[in-house]
């Protein structure tokens, strides 16, 4: 058994109200490692139409390497489906004005975790992995935060989705390197990679997975991706 898992993990399910009272749900997990008090955090932002339950083996791979993991259900997905009136809201019925709140939603969750775990400094050193709309949200969130992620991993990147346009904000991330991953048959993802690369002010590395799928599903169809992503993060965290 990996020594990290033999020591166990600490898991916290959190509910954070957004600016408009929407209930944002997230899972925050970090390994218990003897003598270690400070953990780097990896934020996971899922694909459109999915939830944080679809990350396959990536969270365990990250925990096994000593990282804290923050999985957030984006508005209208997973457990983040209740508005301020406790009415269920699905991503299928949301307008672009609702999707525009994604970056602020994620900022609220990150700020909550950061302020409630000040002794462990989880966000002094952190990164984001985002799939399609989660990747767009990652870029827009990073632009809003004073403490930037060291790197962002984009699975099936998109230039604009549900009104979330990323190139201009990507150009603001002067010191955040990007790893963009697309599947073998993902023509739109590959095209987006090449377009976004023009706006990047820091490193922008592209990788083509053998998976014939997109977004989070690449992790299921290409089991090597979890290790590839983790090895990339090790260069920064």
Question: For residue range 91-110, what is the model confidence (pLDDT) as tens digits?
Answer: 999 999 999 999 999 999 99
Contact 28, 14 (CB under 8 A): yes
Nearest to 147 by CA among 115, 192, 105: 115
| Cross-strand bridge partners of residue 15 | 25
Q: How crowded is residue 116: how many other Cβ atoms within 10 Å of its Cβ?
A: 13
- Mean pLDDT rounded to a whole number for the chain: 94
| pTM, entire model | 0.96
Contact 45, 149 (CB under 8 A): no
157-185 pLDDT tens trace:
999 999 999 999 999 999 999 999 999 99
Domain count, the chain: 1
Q: Which two tokens stand for residue 226?
A: 């979890």
Arithmetic mean of pLDDT, 20-25 = 95
Confidence of residue 37 (pLDDT cuts 50, 70, 90): confident
pLDDT value at residue 132: 98
**Helix residue ranges per DSSP H, 35-181:** 58-64, 96-99, 102-116, 133-144, 167-170
Separation CA 65–CA 234 (nearest Å): 9
pLDDT value at residue 94: 96
3-state helix, strand, coil in the chain (%, to 5): 35, 25, 40
Separation CA 170–CA 143 (nearest Å): 8
Q: In what helix (H) or strand (E) does residue 195 lie, and over which residues does it extend? A: helix 187-197
**Owning domain of residue 211:** 3-234
Confidence of residue 4 (pLDDT cuts 50, 70, 90): low
pLDDT value at residue 2: 63
CATH code for the domain in which residue 219 is found: 3.40.50.1820
């Amino acid at each position: 058994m990996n020594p990290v898992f033999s020591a166990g993990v600490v898991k916290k399910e959190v509910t954070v109200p957004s600016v408009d009272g929407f209930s944002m749900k997230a899972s925050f997990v970090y390994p218990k490692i003897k003598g270690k008090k400070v953990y780097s955090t990896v934020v996971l932002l899922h694909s459109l139409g999915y939830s944080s339950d679809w990350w396959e083996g990536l969270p365990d791979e990250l925990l096994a390497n000593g990282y804290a993991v923050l999985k957030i259900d984006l508005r209208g997905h997973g457990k983040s489906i209740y508005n301020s009136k406790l009415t269920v809201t699905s991503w299928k019925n949301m307008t672009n004005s609702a999707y525009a709140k994604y970056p602020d939603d994620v900022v609220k969750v990150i700020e909550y975790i950061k302020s409630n775990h000040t002794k462990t400094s989880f966000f002094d050193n952190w990164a984001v992995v985002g799939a399609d709309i989660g990747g767009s949200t990652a870029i827009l969130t990073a632009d809003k935060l004073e403490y930037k992620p060291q790197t962002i991993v984009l699975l099936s990147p998109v230039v604009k989705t549900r009104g979330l346009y990323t190139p201009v904000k990507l150009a603001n991330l002067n010191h955040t390197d990007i790893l963009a991953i697309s599947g073998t048959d993902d023509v739109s993802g590959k095209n987006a990679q090449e377009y976004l690369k023009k706006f990047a002010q820091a490193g922008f590395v592209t990788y083509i997975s053998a998976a014939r799928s997109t977004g989070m599903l690449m992790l299921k169809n290409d089991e090597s991706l979890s290790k590839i992503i983790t090895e990339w993060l090790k260069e920064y965290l």
